[in-house]
Amino acid sequence: MTMWVFGYGSLLWKPGFEVAESALAVLPDYHRSFCMRSVHHRGTDVAPGLVLALDAYTGAQCHGQALRVATGREDETLAYLRERELVSSAYFETRLTVDLRDGRQVEAVTFVIDPDHVQYCGSLPLEEQARIIARATGGMGPNAEYLFNTAAHLRDLGIDDGDLDWLDGRVRGILG
C-alpha cells in the first residue's frame, strides 16, 4: 500500500526516511504555527523552545509537501516517525486527505497537535514566540536553527508564510 506523509515543518528539510516522490500539497482545516512547547528537541524542561504543529482551524489551509515513502519502507518509516514525532505524546497520529498541486488527492500520515496536552501553547503573540525561539536550545540544537531552516525551505518551495517570515527576521534581529 502506498504511504504518504504530510510535511509542514522539519520534515521539509529533514525527513529522515527515503522519499520516493514529493509534491506540493495543501491540508485543509489546519494551520501551521509555533503552538507546541519543545522540551526535547529544541528546548528543555527548564527552558522550553517552540516547534511547529498543525492546529485545527476550520477554513484554514496549510501548504506543505506530501512525501511518498519508498515502496517496502512503510513499516520502518512509520516506526521512525512515531519515535521522532510522538516523543512526548503531544501529537495525534492521523491520516488526512491532502490535495496535491497536480490535482491528485492522497491520504497522508499527519501529526497534529493535541490542544489538551500540557505542551500546547496556541495563540502566543509573535513577539513572545520570537523571544522564546531566540534563546532556546535542545537535544537537536538551537531553536532558531529550526525556524531558519523551515522558513528557508518554505521560501525555496514557493510557499508563503507571513508569520514564519516575520519570525525569521525578528529572531535574526534579536540574535544580532
CATH of the domain at 121: 3.10.490.10
Q: How many residues does the chain have?
A: 176
Residue 176 inside a domain? The answer is no
Collect all residues with Cβ–Cβ distance below 8 Å to 69 and sequence separation of at least 6. 2, 3, 4, 5, 17, 18, 19, 20, 77
Residues designated catalytic: 85
Residue 115 inside a domain? The answer is yes
Q: Which three cell numbers stand for residue 160?
A: 508563503
pTM of the model: 0.95
| Residue 150 lies in domain | 4-169
**For residues 165 and 103, what is the distance between their CA atoms, to the nearest angstrom?**
28
**For residues 102 and 129, what is the distance between their CA atoms, to the nearest angstrom?**
35
pLDDT at 32: 98
DSSP string, 116-154: TSTTB-TT--HHHHHHHHHH-EETTEEHHHHHHHHHHHH
Digit-by-digit pLDDT tens for the chain (176 residues) are 899 999 999 999 999 999 999 999 999 999 999 999 999 999 999 999 999 999 999 999 999 999 999 999 999 999 999 999 998 899 999 999 999 999 999 999 999 999 999 999 999 999 999 999 999 999 999 999 999 999 999 999 999 999 999 999 999 999 99
CB 121 within 8 A of CB 49: no
Residue 116 inside a domain? The answer is yes
**For residues 19 and 80, what is the distance between their CA atoms, to the nearest angstrom?**
13
pLDDT at 88: 87
Give the count of domains, the chain.
Answer: 1
Residue 13 inside a domain? The answer is yes
